[in-house]
A and B are shown apart, each in its own frame.
Chain A
């Protein structure tokens, strides 16, 4: 009972804050409501018994990435609510891609069976040890490949930030 109330509360908060990200005129409010949205999603993870995922979500997204985002917004002083002039073609393409995304979401919601939903059988997902065992045995190759992806992103970031050697 309590968990149902909590679920609806969290869901309402995440939907409202996500809408606020899009509709807010001031970028700083967008960033702040995105942080709130991340926290509510972390709450959902905890309700799914995935504490490890929840805390990693908070550390990585709310704690590091959003700090950098806020940092950029503050440094560029994007406080002025200016609306950048957009070309008609840009608007058209935005509507088109947004519509495509909407189509994908509708399709996935339609194909899912909510009526007889079963909770996942594997309940120990919250345990760091279990996640480690899974990652390093069953999912070793995807794990290694994604780490290669991260290394390449890091190297390119360093290259971009490096000063020109004269």
Chain B
């Protein structure tokens, strides 16, 4: 019974954290952009402009809601809902830290430790494109349709290379598909990034493409497609699309940290857990994971304001002719080394 209560609370907390981080990512994005462009950025709402996300949210809710005349009403509403749903679903399989302990019972900080965790992430990712496709198609607007088609073909193309680079990870972590096992196998500084630098690079590039971030934000490139798939959306439906994108960014950063940077592991964790109470260590481990996550969120923003957008044919060529062969080669070399040296 308690375990169900704990899981429910964990789900709620994760939901609120995802929304909170997404809201403050919009603020951080403006501040980072301002910093990189030598500006000040938002500073009017509250101290340092810290209330800016709330002001934005209120603005989004109060805007007039327009549903285009010849659009498909239900699908038009369904689109952003699916996109938001799939963005929030991934956090269920991520191990957020060492287990908490109450009354001698251990509670794992993971909603569902399923034995197919990595595949679950891939599955949710591949379903996530439906939100964009349905929304873009239902708008009955050719720019929206073009954006939706770009998004879907981009996602399908980059999923392959992403899956191949994950296979190399599975090879070096005893073939377990469970995320908690993958994180546990990276004790201390045994982070996968040191064994899989090429795989990490491929995964990172694919994560950018899957999260529709610059330099791969062609589905919504405003200079050619106005707003891409969300051209016709207004009010909070547009807000959901934009918001879900920030949640996707947060989740991709978390997945990158878990797969390649040891998740909540850091050097000295074993020493700390021997000398400090379990709950304190648990909170420190959560802090370690979030430090990595925040670094990657910053990295996402840093790249956005540094690198210009690709052309669409360049994007496709990069995905199919560079990343996919590289990731297959990486997988073969990893497998060969493991077999040859009997690791």
Contact = CB atoms under 8 A, between A and B. Distances in A.
B152 A71 contact: yes
A128 interface: yes
Given A74-B137, A74-B148, A67 B130 contact: yes
Given A67-B152, A68-B156, A55 B133 contact: no
Q: Interface of chain B, helix or strand or loop or mixed?
A: helix
A64 interface: yes
A128 B116 contact: yes
Interface residues of B, number: 27
Interface string A63-77: 110011011001100
Contacts of B198: none
Contacts, number: 69
B83 to A, nearest CB: 14
A55 B120 contact: yes
A51 B114 contact: yes
Nearest to B114: A51
A58 interface: yes
Contacts of B152: 67, 70-71
B127 A62 contact: yes
A127 B178 CA distance: 11
Contact of B123 (A28, A58, A68, A71): A58
28 contacts: A35-B130, A51-B116, A52-B116, A55-B123, A58-B126, A59-B123, A62-B127, A63-B122, A63-B123, A63-B125, A63-B126, A63-B127, A63-B129, A63-B159, A64-B126, A64-B156, A64-B159, A67-B129, A67-B130, A67-B133, A67-B152, A68-B156, A70-B130, A71-B149, A71-B153, A75-B149, A128-B116, A128-B177
